[in-house]
Amino acid sequence: MPAQVTYQRLLGADQEPQNWLTYSGRYSGWRYSALNQINTGNASRLAMQWTFQVADLGQFETTPLVVDGVLYGTGQNDRAFALDARTGRAIWRYQRNLPDKLQPCCGMVNRGFAILGNKLFMATLDAHLIALDTRTGNLLWDVKAADSNAAYAFTVAPLVVKNEVIVGISGGEYGVRGFVDAYDADTGRRRWRFETVPGPGQPGHETWAGDSWKTGGAPAWVTGSYDPELNLVYWPTGNPSPSGYGGARGGDNLYSNSMLALDADSGKLKWYFQFTPHDLYDYDATQVPVLLDEEWNGRPRKLLLQANRNGFFYVLDRSNGKFLQASAFGKVTWATGISPDGRPLLNSNLVPSPEGNRVCPGALGLTNWFSPSYSPDTRLFYVATSDECDIFTSAPQTYREGHDFLGSVYVPDPIARPTGALKALDPSTGAEKWEFKYFSNPNGGALSTAGELVFAGDSDGNFIALDARTGRDLWNMQLGAAIYSTAITYQLDGKQYVIIPAGSALFAFALADQP
Amino acid sequence: MINAKQMSLVLTVLALVLAARSQEKAVTNPVAGNPRAIHEGASLFRANCSPCHGLNAKGGGRGPDLTAGRWVHGSTDADLFRTVTRGVPGTEMPANAFDDSEIWAILAYVRSLAPPKSEAVSGDPAKGKKIFWETAGCSTCHMVQGRGGVLGPDLSRVGEARSADYLIDSIRQPSKELSTGMLDPNNHYGLPLVYDTVTVVTADGHKIMGVARNEDTFSIQLIDINQHLQFFLKKNLREVTHERKSLMPAYSADTLKPAELQDLVAYLEGLRAE
């Protein structure tokens, strides 16, 4: 039997690079691996080792976990599986019996498991949290978090902290009222809930006109990061609802499009920072926060980095939420910059109108939910970007439970074809160090490694190894379908593997044996 | 064995089915012409239909013009209702899970879009056919029902999808509305630039012009002007240029007289699926 995954192991995940124990590989959200068997000198020898077919349709967005020789992944329609990580052979498969008529906005997707002890935790499309046995895939407990008839859904990979499982809800396109929850890992009992839209009497409630808070959105659908020293969970939130029409929700609409710093034990809000107040462009702040301890203006500081969907790269002090710096990392027109207090300086000509206004970045953002990466070797921050502007239109809409609540539609600018890039930013200045251009805008993020490589995938099915210092492409392979996820890596029996989901399959790569 | 209670249930169900069927025949839009419904329908249309059919329902990269008053899959309210709910098999039109009231609102909106003022197509389709296949050389690049070239779009069903005005524009100024390929906002996967002219320059300086059938970060697959497929890895090319214009020549009034244009459009308007 594999050793149990204890909280101590999760805390020290960076000390066991042969495994991949959490969504981002470690609590700091780096998606970086200290493995270096595959490196800039030999990446051209990468060769496929095995493939695993989920055999289902839709976007395959999982980040698998790998523990002591076993790979655990989730798939479309809440499928799940455990594989022999050497060979890709299935040990067990699971599929949740989902109700009909689920309509999550952006596909029947799931982004992965969290693990603790012999339990795997999966947040499901019908808004339940379940625990499966690592050895058999058997269901151990199942708790309902919210009502899927009202379009509450989970797509997020949970985060385990101590003995609790933290999840955030999806449904910002349907006027849900968002939350971040923590559940007891043993029993599934809910420990705390943080409502991302404050109710009457709670601070922040005044930032919502009338009853708009009831359908205010602010979902929390991407996995946060954790600082054990401060005992704070950093969890990002998404758009206010309806995303494209703000007429009925006057105010800043807290805590939409924010970074929340929550006490891991109580769920109490320590601080927040709102990136896009009163958003009209669907600029969810649901990008993985990257935690970094670094000198800032001559003194050591606990930083939080985020390349935000709104087009700005932010540096915050994560001990108190203080805004330190922001700079655009691509084409941005909705705001002319960020003021010294962190608020965007709006371009008031570009609010969505009934006829439509062309705004950059488009509704899917300059980047999106797919993971960024930070490498301590190159000291660079890697982020996949979309070069797309959209025509944003706007119209009032009446809320109806379980139905689209968008207030608008956006269509891609018909003049310029969307493209994208993988960019390397210097976190101390936000300056771009290099970019590798994609033909289409990407839906996959970045993994960096001590081999000084960045692994990335594009929407045209290419899996690519780049030189982490220069952005030069060293190797690529066509996998036959769009990549909607981000790579991970692990090592077994002396061999480093890199895993990427594409289409409906997992692909495993390693160095070809020397002839 | 079937007992009396079950039998009565069967009869009830049968009666309901028959009632539903007769209703389906007689059904009309209960909110036709209702300004509120049209307003609601416009919002729903924008959110759900415009990604394919265009912001103003005048047709997009994937869906036909809905303002032309041309309903290929049936023109009654019941037909349109069915088209929206069940989709059109064999096409990109999906089934949709709206409430009935929402569908009626969308249809009220779509019906409210008066057909564009178009000069009535006065041409002679038989003459237009001759122009297409012989004098103007359209068939060199365009295919109709299995005959013709492969460089331009297949026009076998163009009469269903495009208005006369659109066709006239496409003939007189083919680069005017060069499609850049629409994106599906939920899938968000770029379609290739199927109408754009691409020029590539090989390492030895050879220039090849054509239309890209596919392109990605590392490669491009062209049909060149001789209608041959050509595959390239970009690392072996000096240059890839998207011209942002159509390979199709603009047919001015000098090369295609107004009467001939009318004939040609009359022919194209008659190209439909049987």
Q: Residue A355 above 50 pLDDT?
A: yes
- Same domain for B238 and B183? yes
Give contacts of A414 with chain B, Cβ < 8 Å: 180
Q: Is A151 left (phi over 0), alpha (psi -120 to 50) or beta?
A: left
Of the pLDDT bands very low, low, confident and very high (cuts 50, 70, 90), residue B273 is confident
Note down the domain range covering B97.
28-112
Q: Give residue-wise pLDDT tens across range B180-218.
A: 443 333 333 334 345 678 999 999 999 999 998 889 999
Mean pLDDT (chain B, rounded) = 82
| Residue A434 to residues A131, A183, A276, Cα–Cα distance (Å) | 42, 42, 27
Q: Does the beta carbon of B197 lie under 8 angstroms from any beta carbon of chain A?
A: no
In the three-class reduction of DSSP (H, G, I as helix; E, B as strand; rest coil), residue B265 is classed as helix
For chain A, give the number of residues.
Answer: 515
Which range has the worst mean pLDDT, A173-187, A330-344, A414-428, A458-472? A414-428
Structure tokens at A483: 């990549």
- Burial of A121 per CB tally in 10 Å (0-12, 13-18, 19+): buried
| Residue A345 to residues A334, A339, B41, Cα–Cα distance (Å) | 9, 6, 35
Chain-centre distance of CA B211, in angstroms? 19
- Same domain for B166 and B179? no
- Same domain for B152 and B265? yes
Q: Which of B40, B50, B190 sits opposite A411 (nearest CB)?
A: B50
pLDDT reported for residue A398: 82
Residue B259 falls within a domain, yes or no? yes
pLDDT reported for residue B26: 57
Residue A1 falls within a domain, yes or no? no
| Residue B194 to residues A113, A387, A441, B248, Cα–Cα distance (Å) | 40, 20, 18, 12
Give contacts of B192 with chain A, Cβ < 8 Å: none
CATH of the domain at A203: 2.140.10.10
C-alpha closest to that of A215 among A408, A395, A401, A396: A401
Q: Does the beta carbon of B48 lie under 8 angstroms from any beta carbon of chain A?
A: yes
- Burial of A345 per CB tally in 10 Å (0-12, 13-18, 19+): exposed
CB burial string B207-228: b at 16+ within 10 A, e below: ebebbbbebbbbbbebbeeeee
Residues B272, B160: contact at Cβ < 8 Å? Answer: yes
Q: What DSSP state is assigned to residue B145?
A: T
* Catalytic positions of A, written as ranges: 282
- Kindly give the pairing relationship between strand A446-449 and strand A432-438: unpaired
Number of domains in chain A: 1
Q: Does the beta carbon of B50 lie under 8 angstroms from any beta carbon of chain A?
A: yes
Most confidently modeled range among A99-108, A193-202, A395-404, B145-154? A193-202
Indicate yes or no: CB of B47 within 8 angstroms of CB of A462.
Answer: no
Q: Which of B43, B97, B187 sits opposite A103 (nearest CB)?
A: B97
Q: Give residue-wise pLDDT tens across range B208-230.
A: 999 988 899 999 999 999 999 99
The residues with which A423 forms a beta bridge, in sequence order, are: A383, A435
Give the separation between CA A460 and CA A444, rounded to whole angstroms.
11
What is the number of H-type helices and E-type strands within chain A? 1, 38
The residues, ordered by sequence, that sit 6+ positions from A450 with a Cβ below 8 Å of its Cβ are A17, A32, A33, A34, A35, A36, A39, A377
Q: Percentage of residues in chain A with pLDDT exceeding 90? A: 90
Residue A417 falls within a domain, yes or no? yes
pLDDT reported for residue B115: 64
Residue A366 falls within a domain, yes or no? yes
Number of domains in chain B: 3
Give the separation between CA A65 and CA A8, rounded to whole angstroms.
17
Give the separation between CA A436 and CA A469, rounded to whole angstroms.
12
**How many Cβ atoms are within 10 Å of A356's Cβ, its own excluded?**
18
The residues with which A387 forms a beta bridge, in sequence order, are: A419
- Burial of A323 per CB tally in 10 Å (0-12, 13-18, 19+): middle
Note down the domain range covering A489.
7-511
Q: Which of A396, A417, A437 sits opposite B190 (nearest CB)?
A: A417
Please give the average per-residue pLDDT across A462-481, as a whole number: 97
**How many Cβ atoms are within 10 Å of A295's Cβ, its own excluded?**
10
Q: Which residue has the higher pLDDT, B20 or B37?
A: B37
- Same domain for B93 and B165? no
CATH of the domain at B221: 2.30.30.100
Residue A104 falls within a domain, yes or no? yes
Question: Looking at this predicted complex, what is its ipTM?
Answer: 0.91
Of the pLDDT bands very low, low, confident and very high (cuts 50, 70, 90), residue B118 is low
Residue A2 falls within a domain, yes or no? no
Indicate yes or no: CB of B186 within 8 angstroms of CB of A106.
Answer: yes
Q: Give residue-wise pLDDT tens across range B57-104.
A: 877 667 788 887 778 788 889 999 999 999 988 788 888 888 899 999
pLDDT reported for residue A403: 83
- Same domain for B195 and B66? no
pLDDT reported for residue A1: 45
The residues with which A303 forms a beta bridge, in sequence order, are: A292, A317
CATH of the domain at B58: 1.10.760.10
Residues A439, A419: contact at Cβ < 8 Å? Answer: yes
Give contacts of B187 with chain A, Cβ < 8 Å: 59
Residue A296 falls within a domain, yes or no? yes
Mean pLDDT (chain A, rounded) = 95
Q: Give residue-wise pLDDT tens across range A40-96.
A: 999 999 999 999 999 899 999 999 999 999 999 999 999 999 999 999 999 999 999
CB burial string A170-179: b at 16+ within 10 A, e below: bbbbbbbbbb
- Same domain for B91 and B221? no
**How many Cβ atoms are within 10 Å of B47's Cβ, its own excluded?**
23
Residue A432 falls within a domain, yes or no? yes
Residue A498 falls within a domain, yes or no? yes
In the three-class reduction of DSSP (H, G, I as helix; E, B as strand; rest coil), residue A97 is classed as coil
- Same domain for B141 and B45? no
- Same domain for B45 and B107? yes
Residue B15 falls within a domain, yes or no? no
Residue B103 falls within a domain, yes or no? yes
Residues A26, A491: contact at Cβ < 8 Å? Answer: no
Q: Tally A–B CB contacts below 8 A.
A: 79
Of the pLDDT bands very low, low, confident and very high (cuts 50, 70, 90), residue B36 is very high
Residue B145 falls within a domain, yes or no? yes
Of the pLDDT bands very low, low, confident and very high (cuts 50, 70, 90), residue A3 is low
Residue B17 falls within a domain, yes or no? no
Give contacts of B182 with chain A, Cβ < 8 Å: 411-412
Q: Residue B20 above 80 pLDDT?
A: no
